[in-house]
Amino acid sequence: MSALPSCPQCRSEFTYEDAGMFVCPECAHEWSAQQAVAAEAARVWRDASGNVLQDGDTVTVIKDLKLKGGGGVVKMGTKVKNIRLVDGDHDIDCKIEGFGSMGLKTEFVKKV
């Protein structure tokens, strides 16, 4: 089973295909397969300041982040090296010393 693309308008993952078009049931946006390919190729990740992020960049956390499950807090100013940009519920896959592998959102980091 192939994965359908997320909605380019509202980023919903609940899209479906209908007569060669992709449809988002949450915002009613419709787009073609060619537009989906172009949108994925044109995806640009930006940090909280608007700087463009790329794989391998070093970023700094801009606010204290509580970890789910009571695992502690990633403090503001924590430097994260060698990030990897991904699609999904978070934008960055990384390893943080003392915490291990985790996912971060770009809105909580700033490029160094």
Q: Can you give the three-state secondary structure of 21-37, one letter per residue?
A: EEECCCCCCEEEHHHHH
Q: What is the mean pLDDT of the chain?
A: 87
Average pLDDT over residues 16-32: 90
10 is a domain residue: yes
What residue numbers bound the domain in which 12 lies?
A: 1-41
The number of folded domains in the chain is: 2
Q: Does residue 31 share a domain with residue 1?
A: yes
When pLDDT is cut at 50, 70 and 90, the band that residue 12 belongs to is confident
Considering the domain architecture, whether residues 31 and 68 belong to the same structural domain is answered as no
Indicate whether 77 pLDDT > 90: yes
Whole-Å CA distances, 72 to 14, 38, 67, 98, 101: 32, 40, 6, 10, 14
Looking at the predicted structure, is the pLDDT value of residue 90 above 70? yes
Q: 36 and 62: one domain?
A: no
pLDDT tops 70 at residue 104 = yes
Q: Is 37 a member of any domain?
A: yes
Residue 103 is part of a domain; what is its CATH number?
2.30.30.40
Distance CA 4, CA 15 (A): 7
Answer whether residue 50 is part of any domain.
no
Whether 33 is covered by a domain: the verdict is yes
